[in-house]
Amino acid sequence: MDIYFDNSATTVAYPEVAKTVSEAMLELYANPSSLHRMGKVAEDAISDARKYISSTVNGTPDEIYFTSGGTESDNLAIIGYAKANKRSGNRIITQKTEHAAVLESFSHLESEGFDVVYIDVDSSGSPDMEMLKNSIDENTILLSFMHVNNENGAIFPIEEISSLCDHKKCMLHVDAVQSFGKIPINVKKTGIDMLSVSSHKIHGPNGVGALYVRKGVKINPIAVGGKQERGLRSGTENVAGILGFSKACEIKFKNMEKDAETIGNIKKALCDGLLENIENVIINSPKDSIHSILNVSFPGVKSEVLLHILESKGIYVSTGSACNSKKNKYSYVLKEMKLKNDVIDSAVRFSFSAFNTMDDVEYTVNVLKKEIPLLRKIMK
């Protein structure tokens, strides 16, 4: 019995997606840049996918650029925009709890002379809006904030942040990897200039994502070559991956409201079950966090030890971001939230999908109900 509660790291592909990818690899294998008929068929298939994916965020097809995933989309947006507009100003702003793809992009630009400001967060992980307002000056050209935190599920006030940009010189980039397909996104209504999304977080294939860039926003490529993706992202297009991504979007967006209710009920049941059956459980996710993420601490138990105990019982969870969990002892996100070390050191992230069931929750609660007291005795 395998219970997969690590859906913020990656998700299992929809069967329809696997079928789409397999068929595309066998039938649409021609290079989309080729001038012959087979190349044109592949190019047309990408165009259809681009049109559909753009509609999911209320963009237009010529505002969507396919990439290898969220990390590349973040890098392309942040580094590409900053370098294209450095004559307009050199201040760029983000928050201390962003994903590593954003923080490393900012660190790279800082080493090249950009003035980088890292905004503090409160105990829920939300940005200090007063500090943000005071940090924006006439030299500010970019704000980059995630829509949903990948570790505790906090949903950030993107519309309020957007209102601080003039969208002429100062632009807003949003990392929507954890929110895309789960809660509605309207780039026009919200005032988002650039948006990063990823396929494998919504039951699509790994290695493909997209970057929305609003018309009129100047951005430089960060890799050179054959000038695919209208010159912004060189390299032969991943036709099968893009079509798989589009198919995943089609299924996910069709079922978004229903999935949100199903997953929300699973999250609530797990949260209630832990609080009712285990002493000294701390919920690190805000009450209004996204339905797909629950961050929980069991003080007195090392999270890595608990992770492997759960694994031995067929339950798969995470101690934080998959991109950082092998490198850092403590979650920098929870640390910036000023949580105590014993809370940080015992934190586990459960992240859900519509493939999870109430039986999964019941089994998990029963396992934890038995194992947590035993581990606390051993680790005293």
Please indicate, yes or no, whether residues 23 and 159 belong to a single structural domain of this protein: yes
Please indicate, yes or no, whether residues 169 and 242 belong to a single structural domain of this protein: yes
Domain that holds residue 272: 3-10+255-378
Residue 1 pLDDT:
77
Residue 379 pLDDT:
80
| Distance of alpha carbon 371 from alpha carbon 211, whole angstroms | 43
This prediction's pTM: 0.95
Residue 305 pLDDT:
96
Q: Is the pLDDT at 323 greater than 70, yes or no?
A: no
Whether 125 and 269 have beta carbons less than 8 Å apart is answered as no
Mean pLDDT of 209-237: 93
Please indicate, yes or no, whether residues 248 and 281 belong to a single structural domain of this protein: no
| Distance of alpha carbon 332 from alpha carbon 242, whole angstroms | 33
Q: Give the type of residue at 327.
A: K
Comparison of pLDDT for 227 and 264, the residue scoring more? 264
Please indicate, yes or no, whether residues 78 and 183 belong to a single structural domain of this protein: yes
Q: Is the pLDDT at 322 greater than 90, yes or no?
A: no
Give the model's confidence band at 226: pLDDT under 50 very low, under 70 low, under 90 confident, else very high: confident
Residue 47 pLDDT:
98
Q: Is the pLDDT at 131 greater than 90, yes or no?
A: yes
Please indicate, yes or no, whether residues 250 and 275 belong to a single structural domain of this protein: no
Q: Is the pLDDT at 213 greater than 60, yes or no?
A: yes
Whether 150 and 124 have beta carbons less than 8 Å apart is answered as no
Residue 65 pLDDT:
98
Structure tokens at 253: 């967006």
Q: Is the pLDDT at 324 greater than 70, yes or no?
A: no
CATH number of domain containing 32: 3.40.640.10
Alpha helices in 56-138 (DSSP H): 70-84, 100-111, 129-135
Is the CA virtual torsion 357, 358, 364, 367 positive or negative?
negative
Which of 254, 269, 304 corresponds to the end of one domain? 254
Please indicate, yes or no, whether residues 173 and 57 belong to a single structural domain of this protein: yes
Please indicate, yes or no, whether residues 64 and 178 belong to a single structural domain of this protein: yes
Q: What is the DSSP string of 264-298?
A: HHHHHHHHHHHHHHSSS-EE-S-TTS-TTEEEEE-
What is the rounded end-to-end Cα distance, in angstroms, of the chain? Answer: 31
Structure tokens at 34: 């080729």
Q: Is the pLDDT at 321 greater than 90, yes or no?
A: no
CATH number of domain containing 343: 3.90.1150.10
When the pLDDT of each residue in the chain is averaged and rounded to a whole number, the result is 96
Please indicate, yes or no, whether residues 232 and 356 belong to a single structural domain of this protein: no
Please indicate, yes or no, whether residues 275 and 357 belong to a single structural domain of this protein: yes
Strands 64-67 and 91-95: unpaired
Q: Is the pLDDT at 227 greater than 80, yes or no?
A: yes
Mean pLDDT of 353-373: 98
Please indicate, yes or no, whether residues 42 and 152 belong to a single structural domain of this protein: yes
Q: Which positions are annotated as active-site residues?
A: 323
Residue 231 pLDDT:
81
Please indicate, yes or no, whether residues 237 and 263 belong to a single structural domain of this protein: no
Residue 330 pLDDT:
72
Please indicate, yes or no, whether residues 306 and 182 belong to a single structural domain of this protein: no
Give the model's confidence band at 159: pLDDT under 50 very low, under 70 low, under 90 confident, else very high: very high
Mean pLDDT of 115-144: 97
* Count of the separate structural domains present in the chain: 2
